[in-house]
Each structure stands twice: as C-alpha cells, then as structure tokens.
Amino acid sequence: MSHDTMLHRAQARLADAAKHLNIDPTILEKWESPKETTQARLTIQMDDGSHKHFLAFRSRYDDTRGPTKGGIRYHPSVTADEIETLALLMTVKCALANLPFGGGKGGVQIDPHPLSKTELEGLARGYVRCFSHVIGPNRDIPAPDVNTNSTTMAWIADEYAFIVGEWTPGVTTGKPTSLGGSLGRDDATARGGYYLLQYMAKHIGFTPGARVAIQGFGNAGSHMAQLLESDGCKVVAISDSKGAIVCKTGIDIKKLNAAKERNGCVTSFAGSNGVSKIAADELVSVDCDLLVLAAMEDMVHAGNAANVKAPIILELANSPITAEADEILKSKNFVVLPDILANAGGVIVSYFEWVQNRQGYYWSIEDIHALLKTKMEEEGAAILALAKDKNITLRSAAYVHALSRLVGAIY
Ligand code: GLU
C-alpha cells in the first residue's frame, strides 16, 4: 500500500492495529475507500451582487455502526483527501467512544474570514442545498469543525427544514441551545480532553500546577486554556494561525480572550504583563510540562518532533502528529493522549444533543458533564489497560479498541 496520501497514512494506523487483533485481514478492505464522497460547486451571492464559486465536499466514510457523523470545516486547504481522511478518523473515533454512529466529514475550500455575516449565511445555506440529499438525522449528521460554529449549524438546520418541509433538529449538532442545541456542547471538545487528562494524571505523571503550551486558540484551544488555568495550571505559551506568545509567569486567559476578540489574533496581547511574541512554529518547542495541540493536521512532524520538550502531549486537533513524529516522541518516552480519544468530547456531546433532539427532552448541564466524564473515563481505562497488556502506545491501543468494535459490528 502506498503511503503518499493522507488517507493512506491514516489507513496504515488501522492496519497496524489489525496486527494486534485476531481478525481476517481482508476485513480492512472495507475501509480502503469511503462509502461515498460527494463533491459539489457551491455558489454564493456576495454583498456586491457578484457570484463566487467554491469547491465543497461531504464524505460518508463508513456507516457500519450507524448514521455517519462529523463536522464541516471552512478552510482554503480543504481537499477531498483531507475530508475523506478526517471522515475515516471520525469512523474510528465514534467506534472508540462507543457511539451509535459511523464517520463522516465535510468541508468547503474557502477562507471564511473576509466574508460578511450575510455571505456566511449564504455559504451555510448553499452547503445544505448542495448536500440535502446526503445529510439527514438518520443518514449523515454534520457538526461544527474548523471555522464553523453554532450559528453555522443554526443556518444549516433552518435551510434543511425549509427543504424537507419540517423542523428536523437532529440533522445537525452543535446548534445554539435556543434551537435544540445541548448545554455543554460549546466547550465539550476541550472538557473531554480535560477529563481524560485528569483521569490519566497519575498514570502519566501529570501534576497540578503544570506549565502548559497550547497550539491553536479556536474553540478547542481557548476552552482548554480556560479549564487548565482554573485548575491551577500555568499557560506559558499560546499560538494561533497568525503568531504565538509566551509568558513564563502564565498568560491571563480572560484578558487574552478579550484581546483576541478585539484584534483577531493572540499576538495583539504581547507587550504587556510579561508577554512576548515568538514565531508560531516555535510553539511546539517551548519548555513546558504539557503540550496541547489544538490547531490543524501534521503540525508535529519529522522536522520538529525532536524539539518537543513537553513529556505529555494532548491532541485536541485531528491528526496533529505524523507517524514519523510519533516514532520520535515514542523514542523519547513521551506520552501522547491520542486525538481519537482526547478530542472525542465534541462528538460525544453531539451524540447527547442528537438523543435529546429525538426525545424532545433536554438534560441539565450537570447531567451532560457527568455523562461526558464517565465516557472519557470508561474508554480511557480501556485503552490504558490495552496499552499495558500489549505494551503498545495509547494511540495504538485506541485504534485496537476501536477496530475491534468496528469489526464486531460486521455480520
Ligand atoms: N468536528 C468535531 C470532531 O472532529 C465534532 C464532530 C461532531 O460533533 O460530529 O470530532
């Protein structure tokens, strides 16, 4: 099998896991390609009356365990290969979290930042018009991902209701609570990772007051910064797509949030309170106890993995560490809390939202937090035991655990 595409590299991780299970190797052939990927031309009307056209995708990688589930991202680097890879990762993630879902993903090749609010609305509604025959509450359920949020999901649910002729809240998750969204979905990705970290702490040597560097200050990164700061950690470095900042005594996250809101970048916070600027790609080599990767894919690679100083790395982004980098980190005895478990909190609370939409009865924030915590601990315990038993990394154990669930659903 050639390893030259992102998808091939993700499939190689699955093939590695298969070696630890007593399964018919031909079973993996099922996941050599997605069940279906749809590509469309998405046209939006700009505020000046002109029309612009963008490439849009939705991939339903695998529905062995239920309707496909996964976010929609807006990013200029979106390709079919990336979307299919992320849809495969969602397949593995949903199996690992034992959710009754398969894996899907969607994306539009666009930089949404220059768009006005009406243009963004046109983009979300245009996406539904492209894929209304693909998505559905029992077929394929989108959610937020990079550069999309609860407002995007509100427009998606509204456009879908218009097309099918009835309000169908379970067609998407991550909606505003006023439109059937779940309490606790907003910070769910970070909170899931935080619960996992707390649970694993004594096994991996994570101690209170740790110094943390966070790559990425979007939904996952900013909520994680807040959770860790309130837990007594010192957030010594943070980056976003425009640059990075460091502060030995700890960055004040509330103040940073306000600065980012005002100026659109974390570097605007430099110059006061002992905060200084560094280049964005220097973030992974900052001296600290925990590195949280909450940006994009392949950020830690063969070229910079040896510079990582944090002995514990938590993956809140999808696939932020390449296979080559994994080997380097392993040789240094560093622990990686792998994406498919560490960032599963988002899709777990998405599942809770979908269940609440189907029953029309809504749970308290305390219930959501307790259910999320239990899930992270249950699956965390399972992969910890597997890793010890087979003497493999937590990532390999997570793949083995997920693959055995996937295979168990094939009749
Ligand atoms: N986009 C998130 C992820 O990659 C959440 C997906 C969902 O909630 O369906 O896991």
The whole-angstrom distance between residue 319's C-alpha and the CA centroid of its chain comes to: 9
* CA–CA gap between residue 304 and residue 390 (Å, rounded): 29
Provide the residue count of the chain: 411
Residue owning tokens 């605007």: 268
Token pair in block for residue 375: 């899930």
Cα 134 to ligand 1 centroid, rounded to whole Å: 17
In 148-214, which ranges are continuous DSSP H helix? 150-164, 188-204
* CA–CA gap between residue 389 and residue 318 (Å, rounded): 26
CATH class of the domain at 188-342: alpha beta
Q: Domain 35-172 adopts which CATH fold?
A: Rossmann fold (3.40.50)
Is the C-beta atom of 353 inside 6 A of ligand 1?
no
Residue owning tokens 């059937």: 180
Mention every residue, 6+ apart, whose C-beta is less than 8 A from residue 303: none
Q: How far is CA 320 from CA 85, 117, 279, in A?
A: 13, 30, 18
The domain ranges of the chain are 35-172, 188-342
Q: Are strands 102-109 and 51-62 parallel, antiparallel or unpaired?
A: antiparallel
Give me the catalytic one of 105, 175, 260, 373. 105
Q: Are 85 and 319 in contact (CB under 8 A)?
A: yes
Q: Are 244 and 279 in contact (CB under 8 A)?
A: yes
Mention every residue, 6+ apart, whose C-beta is less than 8 A from residue 228: 194, 210, 212, 235, 290, 292
Cα 143 to ligand 1 centroid, rounded to whole Å: 6
Atom index in ligand 1 nearest the CA of residue 347 equals: 8
Greatest alpha-carbon span in the chain? 62
Q: What is the pTM of this model?
A: 0.97
Atom 8 of ligand 1: nearest residue by CA position: 347
Domains 35-172 and 188-342 are alike in CATH topology: yes
Indicate if 390 belongs to the active site: no
**DSSP H/E element including 292:** strand 290-293
Predicted confidence pLDDT, tens digits, the chain (411 residues): 445 799 999 999 999 999 999 999 899 999 999 999 999 999 999 999 999 999 999 999 999 999 999 999 999 999 999 999 999 999 999 999 999 999 999 999 999 999 999 999 999 999 999 999 999 999 999 999 999 999 999 999 999 999 999 999 999 999 999 999 999 999 999 999 999 999 999 999 999 899 999 999 999 999 999 999 999 999 999 999 999 999 999 999 999 999 999 999 999 999 977 999 999 999 999 999 999 999 999 999 999 999 999 999 999 999 999 999 999 999 999 999 999 999 999 999 999 999 999 999 999 999 999 999 999 999 999 999 999 999 999 999 999 999 999 999 998
Is the C-beta atom of 97 inside 6 A of ligand 1?
no
Is the C-beta atom of 193 inside 6 A of ligand 1?
no
* CA–CA gap between residue 283 and residue 236 (Å, rounded): 10
Cα 406 to ligand 1 centroid, rounded to whole Å: 18
